[in-house]
Structure 1
Amino acid sequence: MKSIIAFLPKSIAAQITDLPSRIKDEMEEIRIRINRPLEVSVRGNPHYLPYIARAEDAEQFLNNLSNHSFYTLEEELKRGYITIEGGHRIGLAGKVILEHGEVKGIRQIASFNIRIARQKIGLANHLIDELYDHNWCHTMIIGPPQSGKTTLLRDLARIISTGVPEKGIPALKVGIVDERSEIAGSVHGVPQLQFGPRVDVLDACPKAEGMMMLIRSMSPDVLIVDEIGREEDSAAIQEAIHAGITLVMTTHGHSFDEIKKRPILQPILQSKIFDTYIELQRKEVPGSVSRILDGDGNQQKKRKAGVY
């Protein structure tokens, strides 16, 4: 939280600092909206603080983020978010500026959503035996918002790039296409979160283009991609598979049956690219697995440990 508080206006920083430790430890988001109460999200539930955000707070927050040079945020404003040290992502909303029908930036910013990046080391340990059989499986993680898809994906990237010596699993080259700077939380191209020694990150790059760039330039064994869903992503995924690269990625949805209905995902699902589908459910613990399905969409037999 120190890196977040350092950027906040003093009046808002004081409100967050004074929160009980148990709230700060479990906080997922901080929302600042001009002329409305501060909101913090804990385990998906909103809590309102006794402070009304002012226009001066928004101005001071932006000045802190840009080091008093709004021009330095030009590219971030086109994307609608800023990533700060620690991998925390700040979403923006306000008046959108268009140029030739394309988004040029956001001005008169009235809302900020600070998504707190929390790394859960070891979160994916219980899935190793499910996802590794002489090689890592092509895996799709399915889950609703705030179910821990990215947190789980991040830990899988760490495990794959570190290897698991006690199980005879070698450390592999991992390429992460981090379109929204959310998986690795890179700042100036450098990942802010903990990974193994064999990770290369392509930050702030569209997924389809990024997958092809990494294949050509970094020869990864495994590609990690968050939130697929565009037609271009589907084509790039199939090209990566043909190049002999293992894919681990996420998509929004509550179940395998739900995502089967999406036209963009149908070519991928019909070609049975993926060996394993992991369904997550939204619970207090991020990355809570409800079901693990095989490549045909059939539920795998429950393990004796009863993890899912």
Structure 2
Amino acid sequence: MLEFLTDNLHLALNNVNMKLVYELRIRANKPVVLNYGGKYTFLGARGLTENIGNALVASYADIEKIIYRASEFSVYSVTEQLRQGFLTGAGGERIGLAGVFVYENGSTFTVKEVTSLNIRVPHEIRGCGEAIYRNCFAKGPASALLLSAPGRGKTTILRDLARLISSHHLINILINDERNEICASYKDFSLDTGAFTDVIRYTYKRDALSSAVRAMRPDLIVTDEIVSEDEIDTIASCVRGGVEVIASAHCKDLESLRRSALFSRALRERLFAYYIVLSAEGIGKVEGIYGPDLQPIAGRAC
């Protein structure tokens, strides 16, 4: 994990509990910041520090080195990821990039002169999906949408739900892992998603889900954030074809979902049997579980 970091950052992180490191924010000529246990603080040479004067300061050269290492010394090999403004480390770390976006024929071609990195560190929290599993999937798979603001553990919960459903129901599960965050797979699987799961990585939902339904014949598809009407179309096609889909979305609450033009079709066509609103209190904590018409589901104490 985080093998691509510079030596001074590795040494500093040796002094902290890595289970609590959710994000590293590295900015050129600015102090290094950690999201540590859900709170932001600075990273100093000896570990955590609240004093900005004791924080490590990253250089532009440090950022270039991290990108080079994360791409396994071949930036050309990750061109498609760069077009989307991120890289993925071998351990499933998602590295968001801020810099100069270069366009070609009206579309993003690459990102250069990167001055900021947001490195999100994946964590396997076995059991964090238990409450959701009991309330929604104990009798079998069903289509569901996980809702929360960014950074509340949607990906971690998707991973655990795949493991739990695979453990209790003998069905084939396909994970569409666009950014390699759910499985963090690199030639094998470093995170447990269950014995009945197949994984497609770095592929748009449109391509992955349409080809996978034909080639892999899944009973359930688990995928990450829905961000476009095109993805809603793809998911609707899967559901109509008898394949359940569990996905996630950036909506902080039910009111945000109701106001979203993107999800109006999902509500109208009742694509999802469950809408699961995550709580800000911790990964796996649920604020509420709702049915296809957004009616509360009884016994949702999670």
Partner of 2:250: 252
Amino acid in structure 2 at the alignment position of 1:17 = N
Distance in 2 (CA, whole Å) between partners of 1:254 and 1:67 is: 36
Gap regions ≥5 residues in structure 1: 165-169
Distance in 2 (CA, whole Å) between partners of 1:118 and 1:128 is: 19
Q: Which moved more, 1:106-115 or 1:67-76?
A: 67-76
Equivalent residues of 2:30, 2:57 under 8 A apart: yes
- Using a 3 Å threshold, how does the CA distance of structure 1 residues 35 and 294 change in structure 2: closer, same or farther? same
- Using a 3 Å threshold, how does the CA distance of structure 1 residues 57 and 248 change in structure 2: closer, same or farther? same
Amino acid in structure 2 at the alignment position of 1:45 = K
Q: Are 1:12 and 2:9 counterparts?
A: yes
Paired positions, count: 291
Partner of 2:78: 73
Distance in 2 (CA, whole Å) between partners of 1:302 and 1:135 is: 18
Distance in 2 (CA, whole Å) between partners of 1:125 and 1:229 is: 26
Partner of 1:52: 57
Distance in 2 (CA, whole Å) between partners of 1:87 and 1:171 is: 27
Partner of 2:208: 210
Distance in 2 (CA, whole Å) between partners of 1:65 and 1:272 is: 41
In the superposition, the TM-score normalised over structure 2's length comes to 0.90
- Using a 3 Å threshold, how does the CA distance of structure 1 residues 68 and 252 change in structure 2: closer, same or farther? closer
Kindly report which structure 2 residues correspond to 1:174-185, keeping only aligned pairs within 5 A, or say none: 174-185=173-184
- Using a 3 Å threshold, how does the CA distance of structure 1 residues 230 and 252 change in structure 2: closer, same or farther? same
Partner of 2:88: 83
Kindly report which structure 2 residues correspond to 1:206-285, keeping only aligned pairs within 5 A, or say none: 206-283=204-281, 285=282
Deviations 1:144-197 (A, max 9, x none): 1111111111111112223x2xxxxx3210111112222122335x44321212
- Using a 3 Å threshold, how does the CA distance of structure 1 residues 134 and 37 change in structure 2: closer, same or farther? closer
- Using a 3 Å threshold, how does the CA distance of structure 1 residues 100 and 196 change in structure 2: closer, same or farther? same
Q: Which moved more, 1:131-140 or 1:100-109?
A: 131-140
- Identical-residue share of aligned pairs (%): 28
- Using a 3 Å threshold, how does the CA distance of structure 1 residues 28 and 272 change in structure 2: closer, same or farther? same
TM-superposed CA distance for 1:137, in Å, is 2.1
- Using a 3 Å threshold, how does the CA distance of structure 1 residues 129 and 17 change in structure 2: closer, same or farther? closer
Distance in 1 (CA, whole Å) between partners of 2:26 and 2:212 is: 37
Deviations 1:80-126 (A, max 9, x none): 22222221111122112221121111111211111000011111122
Structural RMSD (CA) = 1.8
Amino acid in structure 2 at the alignment position of 1:179 = E
Equivalent residues of 1:63, 1:70 under 8 A apart: yes
Of residues 23, 28, 43, the one that matches 2:22 is 28
Q: Which runs of 4+ in 1 moved over 4 A?
A: none
Partner of 2:36: 42
Amino acid in structure 2 at the alignment position of 1:250 = S
